[in-house]
Amino acid sequence: MVIHHPKTPLEAVMLKKEKEDALYLAGGTEDLRLNGPMGENTELIDINGLVPSTIEKGEDGKLKIGALVTLQELVESDLVPEYLKSACRFCASFEKRNAATIGGNVGARRDDSYLIAALAAAGVSFMSITPHGEELKKVSEYANSDCKRLIEYFIIDPATKGYVHRFGITANTHAAVIAAKVGDSYALSVKGSALVCGDTPDIYKKVEYKDTLEGSAEYKKYLASTVFTLKEAK
Amino acid sequence: MSKIKFTLNGKVVFYEGDPLRRLVDVLREGFQLTGTKEGCGEGECGACSVLKNGKLVTSCIIPVGAIDGDDIVTIEGLRETPQGQCLVESFAEGGAVQCGFCIPGMVMAAQALLLVNPHPTEEDVRVAISGNICRCTGYDLIVESILLASRKGEGLW
């Protein structure tokens, strides 16, 4: 195996384009890759230091959260909204949060990512590097695509309020359904299905439910169809 | 093959080989630092915890290629310091150890906490070891031992 050390984000993206099976190396999502399909010829592209690892508040009041900010740094930040901290706490234990990054988590595009549901409900976009230069992309669009852009930083409104709920068969199993509401927007991440977003609780109707190890299609449909209405009835 | 340079317990070391090899394997098999234990192999139990640039991380899910240029401290490195000695004595005095398998990770978690918070509350301690699983003690004696270390080691952190 080989590690490439590109000097610029664009160089990293061009390498990724050239070597389709290459993987970005940074942060702490490597456990996913170690368990994933990797051959002896897998090449790695080290992006440490190429994308931001800080949380900054801009003049417009919006937060710029670097892709290499760890989940624990998000939990500890006074700037980050509570729903996002809650999603980070769901993601992993303390040690894992010290290594896992927001960019890595979103970049993995798992259908049981707590962060993707939360960020999608909040309508968050991120700045990315593509072979054609910098480009804004919505998390909700990215989650359901297979584009290979490099995430640079997320743009988040710190004033937004919301919640994230996870449902799984046990505390230790992967989630069957993740439901997030931020402001007046909803997002549902259902294991085995695409992420859906919308402005009404009936977004569950847009999901094509599938049986997976995390639960039957009917089980997940029941959860998705009741979570928002029950929460709001409280 | 990749050449990776990092600081291990205060000394600059080099690793040459597969960059996707897990850090825990490199520590145990490459550097014979067997104090770092492998429990679950999924980053959930905390037995393999080490400090990476002062932050507690699980070495079973970090490929060695991701630590190029970093500062790694294992239980062996910590043991040689006054802080490590204090933690070891406090764990012994507090009766925190039963089978002992989780203890290197617990001690590393305690060190990570005390480095940033030398006077933790019981809740602080419980949060700090929340990623470390112990199947023997029920945690109370470990928590008390870390609090004991913070009192005995006044000025060390």
Confidence of residue A185 (pLDDT cuts 50, 70, 90): very high
Evaluate whether residue A210 is within a structural domain. yes
Domain assignment present for A33: no
Q: What's the confidence (pLDDT) of residue A27?
A: 67
> Chain A contacts of B109, Cβ < 8 Å?
94-95
The answer to whether the complex's ipTM is over 0.90 is no
pTM summary value = 0.88
Query: Given an 8 Å threshold on Cβ–Cβ distance, is A30 in contact with B66?
Result: yes
Is A39 domain-assigned?
Answer: no
Domains of chain B: 2-74 (3.10.20.30), 79-152 (1.10.150.120)
CB pairs under 8 A between A and B: 85
Is B28 at the interface with chain A, CB within 8 A?
no
- Please indicate whether, in this complex, the C-beta atoms of B57 and A93 are within 8 angstroms of each other: no
Give the B window 71-130 contacts with A, CB below 8 Å: 109, 127-128, 130
What does the pLDDT average to over B39-62?
93
Q: What is the pLDDT of residues A37-89, one digit of tens each?
A: 556 667 888 888 899 999 999 999 999 999 999 999 999 999 999 999 999 99
Residues from chain A that touch B106, judged by Cβ atoms under 8 A, are: none
Q: Could you write out the DSSP letters of every residue in chain A?
A: -EEE--SSHHHHHHHHHHSTT-EEE-TTTHHHHHTS---TT-EEEE-TTTS---EEE-TTS-EEEETT-BHHHHHH-SSS-HHHHHHHHHH--HHHHHH-BHHHHHHTT-TT-HHHHHHHHTT-EEEEEETTEEEEEEHHHHHTS---PEEEEEEE-TT--EEEEEE-SSTTSPPSEEEEEETTEEEEEETTS--EEESSGGGGGG-----BTTB-HHHHHHHHHHHHHHHHH-
Could you tell me if residue A110 is inside a domain? Answer: no
CB neighbour class for B128 (10 Å; exposed up to 12, middle 13-18, buried from 19): buried
Query: Structural domain tally of chain A?
Result: 1
pLDDT at residue A36, as a whole number: 53
Q: Is residue A167 part of a domain?
A: yes
Is residue A173 one of the residues assigned to a domain?
Answer: yes
Higher pLDDT, A36 or B67: B67
Res A48: pLDDT:
86
Residue B120 has a pLDDT of 97
Range of the domain at A225: 162-233
pLDDT for the residue numbered A102: 94
The pLDDT tens digits of the residues spanning B61-118 come to 888 888 989 999 999 999 999 999 999 999 999 999 999 999 999 999 999 999 999 9
Q: Is the pLDDT of residue B36 over 80?
A: yes
Q: Does residue A88 lie within any of the structural domains? A: no
A92 CB within 8 Å of a chain B CB: yes
Indicate whether A157 belongs to any domain: no
